[in-house]
A and B are shown apart, each in its own frame.
Chain A
């Protein structure tokens, strides 16, 4: 039964990595700037989930802190970029 859990973890990690690759493709081909920001937004969420999955794999708490940090900084960067596109300045 233990093997099943490992296989599922590998499958989830592979899926998340595939999602990161797809986001990277959209980041490269995205015709407009807001497409690229959307791709970056999805990119960091997938990275955060990958960190959580690695934490489950290695039974370690450090990865949780990593996921928390990625979540905190990623949100701020998305908001700043979107705000910049909206008005041309970040703080009005």
Chain B
């Protein structure tokens, strides 16, 4: 981090804040994935990681690279856009997979 010598103090504070917030939220999301008892509850844990955790890290990355290169570096917006478009679809598919599988198991039990 030699090139970062000319960063102003408030910018460093902002970047540090977003980095720490992002790290905390990522761990909390993964902890929810591990700790909660049923699948339908577990699916809410990673939602934290995906939305605000990833968002904070991406904001920190944008701020750092913009100030290092002294021009706006905003191609992290692409990842943000992609995640906010795809993560809901993935969550919905997994939830439906869970519901359908449980329905199928119930039907099988009723038959036997």
Known: A8-B15, A38-B33, A56-B64. A78 touches B1 (CB 8 A): no
How many of chain A's residues have a CB under 8 angstroms from any CB in B?
Answer: 51
- Is B31 a contact partner of A22 (Cβ separation < 8 A)? yes
Q: Which residues of chain A are within 8 angstroms of B61 by Cβ–Cβ distance? A: 52-53, 55-56
- Is B1 a contact partner of A6 (Cβ separation < 8 A)? yes
Q: Which residues of chain A are within 8 angstroms of B98 by Cβ–Cβ distance? A: 32, 34
B29 to chain A, nearest CB (A): 7
Question: Size band of the B side of the interface?
Answer: 35 or more
- Is A53 a contact partner of B33 (Cβ separation < 8 A)? no
- Is A79 a contact partner of B90 (Cβ separation < 8 A)? yes
- Is B97 a contact partner of A85 (Cβ separation < 8 A)? yes
- Is B5 a contact partner of A19 (Cβ separation < 8 A)? no
State in angstroms the CA–CA spacing of A67 and B3 once bound together: 23
0/1 interface trace, chain B 15-47, chain A, CB 8 Å (1 if under): 110011011101101110110000100110110
Binding site for A on B (CB under 8 A): 1, 3-5, 7, 9, 12, 15-16, 19-20, 22-24, 26-27, 29-31, 33-34, 39, 42-43, 45-46, 49-50, 53-54, 57-58, 60-61, 64-65, 68, 75-76, 78-79, 82-83, 86-87, 89-90, 93-94, 96-98, 100-101
- Beyond contacts A1-B7, A72-B82, A85-B97: 6 other A-B pairs, Cβ-Cβ < 8 A, are A5-B7, A22-B27, A59-B1, A68-B82, A82-B94, A85-B100
A-B contact pairs, 16 of them (CB 8 A): A8-B16, A11-B20, A19-B29, A22-B27, A25-B34, A32-B98, A35-B42, A52-B61, A59-B65, A64-B75, A64-B76, A68-B78, A75-B82, A78-B90, A82-B90, A86-B101
